[in-house]
Amino acid sequence: MFFVTHGSEVKTESMIEQAWLDKKIVVVPKSNVSTCKISAYKIESLRKDLQKGNYGIREPKPGTCQKMNARKIDLVFVPGLSFDLSGHRIGYGKGYYDSWLKYFPVKARVGLSYDFQVLKKIPKSGKDLPVGKIVTDKRIIKTQ
């Protein structure tokens, strides 16, 4: 599962295209603003299957893409404004990813960020779930 790049986040488009070349199934999140939860949908084209959705983020088009069960997802790439060395993150503050990540073991959660976004320690709450690795433009950090 990839996130679709928004704003200053790590660019995922070329990674998504490479995953398709490697015959991987690609899913991306769709948000539900009334519940602050995300669901995963299979996409086969960045151009045809996505449209501007909630918060201005490109999301799967309704009725076009197949909803996927979380149990069928092997790996989740997680966006963040910042990560710390223990794998905790600061997102946009609504808890969408924290409620989603509970379905996956820590080793299946990978944060993608630029190296300057990785801090020694960031504040966290009891609901915050860490990632098992952080991949930056300069290094791979095992957090667990």
Task: Express each pLDDT in 111-133 by its tens digit.
Answer: 999 999 999 999 887 778 999 99
Give residue-wise pLDDT tens across range 67-85.
999 999 999 999 999 999 9
pLDDT of 127 reads 79
Using only C-alpha atoms, the chain has a radius of gyration, in whole angstroms, of 14
CA 14 to the chain's CA centroid: 15
How far is Cα 130 from Cα 110, in angstroms, rounded to an integer? 9
15, amino acid identity = M
Give residue-wise pLDDT tens across range 44-62.
999 999 999 988 899 999 8
Q: Taking the domains of the chain in order of start, what are their residue ranges?
A: 1-144
pLDDT of 55 reads 86
- β-strands 82-84, 58-60: how paired? unpaired
- Identify the CA nearest to 47 among candidates 20, 71, 79: 20
pLDDT of 67 reads 95
pLDDT of 5 reads 94
Domain 1-144 indexed as CATH 3.40.50.10420: yes
How far is Cα 16 from Cα 24, in angstroms, rounded to an integer? 9
In the chain, % of residues over pLDDT 90: 81
Q: Give the chain's mean pLDDT.
A: 93
How far is Cα 43 from Cα 61, in angstroms, rounded to an integer? 9
